Structure 1
Amino acid sequence: MINFNSELLVEEKAKLSLENRGFKYGDAIFETIKVSNNRVVFWEDHYFRLMSSMRMLRMKIPMEFTLEFLEQEILKTVATQNSANSYRVRLNVYRKDGGLYTPKTNKIDYFIVAKANTYVTKEVYSVDVFKDFYSYSGLLSTIKTNNRMVNTLASIYAKENELDNCVLINEKKGVVEVTNANIFVVKGNVVRTPALSEGCIKGVIRSKVIDIIAKNKEFTLEETTISPFEIQKADEVFITNAIIGVQKITNYKKKKFTTIFSDKISKSLNVLEVTSS
């Protein structure tokens, strides 16, 4: 079942019109959310990021779009699925049909889709840099819009070259993220991650990992510019998103990385996921 504007529909009956602005112009945003044991993980963080993104894109936020309302809509959708311990939920918000580049209205529609989460972290994980196109820096790039062509092409490139993922770079040749996650680079006792000004997604798990590292006095966290060359010189590299949590990278070009620090971060994140409200 799919939740369309609070109405549960059989998937075959959930149709988008040819005037859908998410389809025609990418005039849409989304949140990818993990639901574990009937609990929306880090929901407050996802909710406030969604509200911030809608305001930035001048979408009219419905009065009923409260934290509690959307949480219940997510759980209502999950309840229609086959029993599983973990779900991957996509909450998509898009401007109502009508208009060309200029919309007829800033009011929105939304849908929620839930699928069983089958992701398992990999012991061997190889990446390389995708150089064909840039993921441009700037504030708009930090929002999870439906405009994900660079991510799509980089994912195809990874598949064609038997890689697990690709590192995206911006117009300044700085590291942004990988196709579906934020990236962290560890060298000695310094952990670096691209600053939001580099164009990376303002990831929920990125923020959680930054908080975890900030409480560890043995390591220093830097949000900064990172060159692809620094990845090759790193001791460890790992990626993060709401579904995978922490995925350690083991291979980059001919370089192989250790995973001691990323394993510790993964354990700390798992504890935080279970204990947070």
Structure 2
Amino acid sequence: MINHNGKILEEEEANIPVLNRGFAYGDSVFETIRVVNGKIMFWEDHYFRLMASMRIMRMEIPSSFSPEFLEKEISDIIEANELTNSPARIRFAVYRLQGGYYTPATRDIGYVISTEAMENAFYLLNEKPYEIELFKDHFVTSGLLSTIKSNNRAVNVLGSIFARENSYDNCLLLNEKKSVVEALNGNLFLVKGNTVKTPPLSDGVLNGIIRKQLINILKKTEDYQLEETSISPFELQKADELFITNVALGIQPVSRYRKKEYGNTTAKELLGKLNVKARLG
């Protein structure tokens, strides 16, 4: 079942026109949201990021789009798919309505909410080998547009194809200044001693929900010093740990980059704290 503009429809009935602007121009933004037993994880952060993304894209935000309204829209589709008592992954996509070419005929929007069942209620540490490489064919542009989740993900798609063709589990993306920005599907953290680094939003980093949660956790943890600073590719092989974060997986430790192998002690500790924060809401 799909929630299309507030109507619960069978997937085959939830049709979008071929000239939909999300398809034609990538004129769309989305949120990937984790729901556990009917509870939306980090809902306030998701809501405000979605609103910020729509403003950056100069979309008209409907007056009905209150946190309570959208929360109910998500709950309705969770219930319709009989996932109320299970972990689920939500994709909440907002697109500008059809019309115009590069210049839209309207700023009004439509939305689609889809669901997918997940296996685990809370985040588990994946300790299987996880090898990464740099993707250098194309770059992320530093700036505000790169911080939002839009449908313009060509670099991520091409990087994912490169990773699969070369048997890597993931790749790291660079910006035009040759700084490491993020992974194909999440934010990057680097650990060296008791210092934890993550690239700043000004480098073109996705404004990730789990990134924000870990930054808040680290600021309250005396054992580590957090630095939001640009990361050079040369720093990667000097690090003790590398890990990737996103809302679906939580924290994914990297085990190998080129000839360097990494531990996961910090990732394991932070994952425990992240799960506690998720439970407390």
TM-score norm. by structure 1 comes to: 0.97
Query: 1:8 aligned to 2:8?
Result: yes
2:109 matched residue in structure 1: 108
In the TM superposition, what is the alpha-carbon distance from 1:102 to its structure 2 partner? 0.4
- Output the CA distance in 2 between the equivalents of 1:114 and 1:35: 10
Query: 1:160 aligned to 2:165?
Result: yes
Letter in 1 for 2:53: S
Letter in 2 for 1:101: Y
Query: 1:125 aligned to 2:130?
Result: yes
- Structure 2 unaligned blocks of 5 or more: none
1:195 matched residue in structure 2: 200
Deviations 1:64-97 (A, max 9, x none): 1000010110111111224462111000001000
Deviations 1:28-75 (A, max 9, x none): 000000001110000010000111111111100001100001011011
Q: How does 1:1-277 map to 2 (within 5 A)?
A: 1-83=1-83, 85-118=86-119, 121-123=125-127, 124-276=129-281
Letter in 2 for 1:16: I
Letter in 2 for 1:190: T
- Output the CA distance in 2 between the equivalents of 1:39 and 1:25: 33
Q: What secondary structure does 2:234 align onto?
A: helix
- Output the CA distance in 2 between the equivalents of 1:45 and 1:143: 13
Letter in 1 for 2:242: V
- Output the CA distance in 2 between the equivalents of 1:10 and 1:125: 37
TM-score norm. by structure 2 comes to: 0.96
Identical-pair percentage: 51
**RMSD, aligned α-carbons:** 1.1
Deviations 1:161-208 (A, max 9, x none): 111110000111101100110000000111100100110100111000
- Residues 204/267 of structure 1: CA separation in 2 closer, same or farther (3 Å cut): same
- Structure 1 unaligned blocks of 5 or more: none
Tell me if the contact between 2:125 and 2:268 (Cα under 8 Å) persists in the aligned partners.
no
Q: What secondary structure does 2:139 align onto?
A: coil
- Output the CA distance in 2 between the equivalents of 1:70 and 1:131: 39
- Output the CA distance in 1 between the equivalents of 2:169 and 2:79: 32
In the TM superposition, what is the alpha-carbon distance from 1:117 to its structure 2 partner? 1.8
Q: What secondary structure does 1:24 align onto?
A: helix
- Output the CA distance in 2 between the equivalents of 1:149 and 1:139: 17
Q: What secondary structure does 2:52 align onto?
A: helix
- Output the CA distance in 1 between the equivalents of 2:234 and 2:46: 33
- Output the CA distance in 1 between the equivalents of 2:173 and 2:118: 25
After superposing the two structures, state which structure 1 stretch, 73-82 or 207-216, moved more: 73-82
In the TM superposition, what is the alpha-carbon distance from 1:122 to its structure 2 partner? 2.8
- Output the CA distance in 1 between the equivalents of 2:119 and 2:169: 16
- Output the CA distance in 2 between the equivalents of 1:82 and 1:148: 31
- Output the CA distance in 2 between the equivalents of 1:232 and 1:262: 17
In the TM superposition, what is the alpha-carbon distance from 1:217 to its structure 2 partner? 1.4
